[in-house]
Amino acid sequence: MAVHSGEPESSSRTGAGGQRPLAAGERSVHERVTELLVENAALRRENVTLQSVKDALQESEERYRRLFEDDLTGDYLSAADGRILACNPAFARIFGFASVEDALNTNIRDLYEDSRDRDRLIARLRRGGKVENEGRTRRRRDGTRIHVVENVIGHFGPDGGLLETQGYVYDDSERRRAEEALRESEERFRAVLENSLDAAYRRNLQADRYDYMSPVIEEILGFTPEEMAAMDIGEVMDRIHPDDRPLVKAELNSAAASGRGLLVYRFRAKDGRYRWLEDHFTVTLDPAGRPLFRGGIVRDVTERRRTEEAIRRHATDLARVHRDLESAHREANLYLDILTHDIGNTENVSNLYSELLIDSVEGEAACYMANLKRSIAKSIEILGTVSKIRRIHAGPPLLRPTDLDAVIRAEIDHFRDISISYEGAPRRVLADDLLSEVFTNLIGNAIKHGGPGVAVTVRTEEEDGFVRVTVADTGRGVPDDQKEDIFHRYEKKQRGVGEGLGLYLVQILIDRYGGRIWVEDRVPGHPGDGAAFSLLLREADAVPG
């Protein structure tokens, strides 16, 4: 029987190094620690990878959120029954919602112009799974109609039933309105072109053909637009009148540089007759300066050219007639001068004999001679007035500065037996040597119609570049209903022999001097207290040159 020393049993199995020998398959502590460290490192790497994936996922979710919320198109998700499950701010804005939350309380059917369109869309999704770039009219929350373009995808369950619809829309109402406005404008423009009496065209200079020709060309030339389109430049030039071709070619070459031109030429129509055409056109060039198109408006001016030619012939005939009239006028004036001279001599001789005879007869014969003498004096007066009128109409007036004060004072001296007062100062007016006739006739008219004891006043005053002259008398005056016509009675032949010639002469002279004349009451509102003949003469110092 063995004797034990009292030490643990294990210690008897410890090796020389103080360690217990390892049993078969048993790992050492070191190996287990190493293994744990390796596992720990692997876990750390896996954790880093997981964190990276998590960060990427969060970033992707953030990008998706920003893309969804910041997208300019209206993105939405709706249930099969139409409830809006999700949408972005653009969707809320497009359809007029106050917020996304406001939109989520709405059924998308309410946003359709016709709710049956929603049913038709669902049917199409069930058949094809999606609907792309489809334009339709939708309705905003306030009822306003808008036009949108919509893309929709359907999400289906395992049994094939529709679960959700996902889509996005964008509002193209402005583009739609612009397209409609453009279409209307094009239709109006086309209507104007096709109903115009002028033919619009565009010729492709590269293809040598007409791209467009108004239908009215058939009324002008007899060719249809299609027949015109088939003509090359050689055929077109061949139909232009030979005399006009050089001018047409020169203008076309010039327009290639300037970009615009005007052609007037004769073109042989389908019936063989030439028509005058007026062609306003522009030339479109490419960046290299080569002509691409020529477009313009062609107008048939045949009748206008005929009218112009007739007017030219008429003008030639008028010029010839005018020359003949001038020649006849000169001959008539010469005859009138001779006749007036001879009549004047005869009347002067008759007046001389009447003066000799009136002293040698008595009784009734003396009365006859006195009447004869008055008639001869009146005839001499009329002849003198007519001679003056002929002088006025003989040619344009040669006006010059004239001393008005001197003329008036000289005329007053001729009427020494009449009471004439003068209120004026030295002034110069534009007139000629016939100015004295104005005052001779106005003062004579006052004396003639004023009766015995008539008093005459002549007054001058400045008035805005004119001198106003008034010849007033205390005679019987001029009735209101005659004031407008008193200077035109001679022209209207409302007169006796010689009556009105004096005032007619005054009217002509005042018009000739650039003024005007009229008659008023000497005392305003009292025609019976006399008349005041007022006239305006241009002040010489107020006229440049």
Please choose, from the candidates 268, 96, 86, the residue with its C-alpha nearest in 3D space to the C-alpha of residue 164. Answer: 86
Kindly provide the residue ranges of all beta strands, DSSP E only, lying in 286-387, ordered along the sequence.
Answer: 291-300
Contact 492, 479 (CB under 8 A): no
Can you give the pLDDT at residue 7?
46
Can you give the pLDDT at residue 301?
93
Can you give the pLDDT at residue 457?
94
Please choose, from the candidates 248, 254, 217, the residue with its C-alpha nearest in 3D space to the C-alpha of residue 233. Answer: 248
Can you give the pLDDT at residue 2?
42
Alpha carbon separation from 233 to 50, 239, 267 (Å, rounded): 79, 10, 13
Q: What are the pLDDT tens digits along the chain (545 aa)?
A: 444 444 444 444 444 445 556 555 566 777 888 888 888 888 888 877 777 767 666 665 555 555 456 667 899 999 989 999 989 888 999 999 999 899 988 899 999 988 888 888 889 998 888 999 888 889 998 889 999 999 999 999 888 888 999 998 989 888 888 888 888 777 776 666 666 678 889 999 999 999 999 889 999 999 999 999 999 999 999 999 999 999 999 999 888 888 889 999 999 999 999 999 999 999 998 888 888 999 999 999 999 999 999 999 999 988 888 888 877 766 666 666 666 656 666 767 677 767 767 777 777 777 877 777 777 776 776 666 666 666 666 666 789 999 999 999 999 998 988 889 999 889 999 998 889 889 988 998 888 887 788 999 999 999 989 999 999 999 888 888 888 877 765 444 444 444 556 788 888 889 888 999 999 999 998 988 899 999 999 998 765 55
Contact 76, 91 (CB under 8 A): yes
Please choose, from the candidates 34, 9, 31, the residue with its C-alpha nearest in 3D space to the C-alpha of residue 20. Answer: 9
Contact 118, 108 (CB under 8 A): yes
Can you give the pLDDT at residue 33?
81
Can you give the pLDDT at residue 43?
82
Structural domains present in the chain: 68-172 (3.30.450.20), 196-300 (3.30.450.20), 312-380 (no CATH), 396-542 (3.30.565.10)
Contact 238, 255 (CB under 8 A): no
Other CB atoms within a 10 A radius of the CB of residue 423 amount to: 10
- Tokens matching residue 199: 């033919």
